[in-house]
């Protein structure tokens, strides 16, 4: 049998305990640990192509949060160069062969340059025996390895399908002695192994009973409010703050010893802004029950530096259908909400009225294929615009 509770415990205000700040352990990726790795390996067979696309499966964001990506590449190359003298006399030549390789993709840019010198060698008059010479095959690079970390440009790697990295080779032969009256043909074979590792963290367990969590900036404060449905007297709450969205510090602790089991409780916390700290602030609530089980509220973002203009976060992201836009100030305006493809095509538009609220809810009413889109919110009163990337599952 299901039980429904409809009454409200109105006076369950915050009981704050002054405790030393403590960094809450978050999943990190500075050196690839302690996040969970998922690796993919692609082998490039020996090829004379100037450009090869190395494709990897994208990371499925439904299993957790992507912290960073590590690319390890090991490549080799062998080059053969054929030169022919075109001059009507014998020429003593000296050459320099330069071969460059690059690996590029979102968040990655790796390059190497290799030099090989030939000569001096005398090439006979054009059209006579000895007017040509072949250098090599020479090993230009042998199992050269790079390990590169990408922890900033992660969005292109999330979703469905594949993401491509481009391996490219270039270069040429230059004359250091003997002039330019010659032709040449260079053939370089390259091969290698490419390993892409996604380091991810399990998505934090969201507290299903924490609702209406808002962070609103007002004057020199940020007001945090949240409600708890079916509250239990033994539950405790920690207010967490982060300055980078990854590492959270505990601000204070809240508890309500007077709660009636099964009630809906309201909590409030006032955070005094630190003028010495610039940039966005990230807030979340950590709930712990009598059995020691821990869960979290969604994250709310406030940007005190943006005077007059509100900051907004969208959630959930990735999304399937329903989207919420949480602003960091109370709104009283009409908004035009638009879903735009990566190519700039308007897929859906809806006008909503925000009256004395900081939350706008939006629904994808038309089928949208999985992929990366943009959600634009236009304040029709102030003409301010808010644009966020939207990942549709």
pLDDT tens, residue by residue, 151-173: 878 888 987 788 999 999 999 99
Sheet with 182-202, strands from edge to edge, namely 36-47, 182-202, 64-85, 132-150
Tokens matching residue 83: 């030169």
| pLDDT of 53 over the 80 cut | yes
Most confident of 43-52, 156-165, 266-275: 43-52
C-alpha distances out from residue 263 to 4, 9, 183, 246, Å: 10, 6, 87, 33
The model's pLDDT over 233-257, given as tens digits with 9 standing for 90+, comes to 788 899 998 887 767 888 888 766 5
Which residues make beta-bridge pairs with 355? 332
Give the pLDDT band of residue 258 (cuts 50, 70, 90): low
Tokens matching residue 214: 């808002």
Which are the contacts of 325, defined by CB distance < 8 A and separation ≥ 6?
A: 312, 313, 314, 337, 359, 360, 361, 362, 375, 377, 386
* Secondary structure (3-state) at 22: coil
> Is 123 within 8 Å of 130 (Cβ atoms)?
yes
pLDDT the model gives residue 296 = 84
- Which of 213-238 are b and which e, b meaning 16 or more Cβ less than 10 Å from the residue's Cβ? bbbbbeeeebbbebbbbebbeebebb
In order, the DSSP letters of 311-374 are: PEEEESSSBSSEEEEEEEEEEEEEEEEEEEETTS-EEEEEEEEEEEEEEEEEE--S---SEEEE
> Is 184 within 8 Å of 295 (Cβ atoms)?
no
pTM: 0.53
């Amino acid at each position: 049998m299901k039980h429904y509770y409809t009454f409200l415990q109105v006076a369950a205000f915050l009981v704050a305990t002054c405790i030393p700040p403590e960094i809450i352990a978050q999943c990190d990726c500075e050196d690839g640990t302690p996040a969970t790795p998922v690796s993919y390996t692609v082998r490039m067979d020996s090829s004379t192509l100037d450009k090869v696309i190395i494709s990897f499966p994208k990371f499925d964001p439904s299993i957790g949060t992507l912290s960073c990506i590590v690319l390890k590449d090991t490549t080799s190359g062998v080059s053969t160069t054929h030169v022919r003298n075109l001059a009507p006399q014998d020429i003593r030549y000296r050459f320099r062969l330069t071969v460059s390789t690059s690996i590029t993709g979102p968040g990655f840019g790796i390059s190497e340059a290799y030099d090989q010198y030939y000569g001096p060698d005398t090439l006979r008059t054009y059209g006579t025996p000895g007017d040509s010479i072949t250098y090599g095959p020479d090993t230009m690079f042998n199992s050269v390895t790079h390990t590169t970390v990408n922890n900033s440009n992660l969005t292109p790697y999330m979703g469905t399908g594949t993401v491509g990295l481009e391996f490219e080779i270039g270069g040429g032969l230059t004359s250091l002695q003997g002039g330019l009256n010659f032709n040449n043909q260079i053939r370089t074979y390259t091969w290698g192994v490419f390993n892409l590792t996604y380091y991810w963290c399990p998505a934090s367990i969201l507290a299903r009973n924490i609702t209406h969590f808002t962070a609103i900036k007002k004057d020199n404060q940020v007001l945090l409010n949240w409600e708890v449905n079916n509250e239990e007297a033994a539950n405790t709450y920690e207010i967490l703050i982060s300055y980078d969205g990854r590492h959270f510090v505990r601000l204070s602790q809240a508890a309500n010893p007077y709660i009636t089991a099964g009630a809906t409780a309201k909590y409030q916390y006032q955070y005094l802004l630190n003028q010495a700290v610039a940039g966005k602030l990230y807030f979340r609530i950590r709930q712990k029950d009598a059995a020691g089980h821990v869960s979290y509220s969604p994250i709310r973002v406030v940007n005190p530096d943006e005077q007059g203009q509100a900051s907004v976060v969208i959630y959930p992201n990735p999304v399937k259908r329903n989207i919420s836009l949480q602003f960091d100030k109370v709104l009283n305006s009409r908004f035009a909400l638009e879903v735009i493809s990566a190519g700039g095509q308007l897929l859906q538009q809806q006008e909503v009225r925000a009256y004395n609220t900081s939350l706008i809810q939006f629904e994808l009413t038309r089928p949208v294929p999985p992929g990366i889109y943009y959600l634009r919110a236009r304040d029709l009163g102030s003409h301010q615009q808010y644009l966020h990337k939207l990942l549709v599952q």
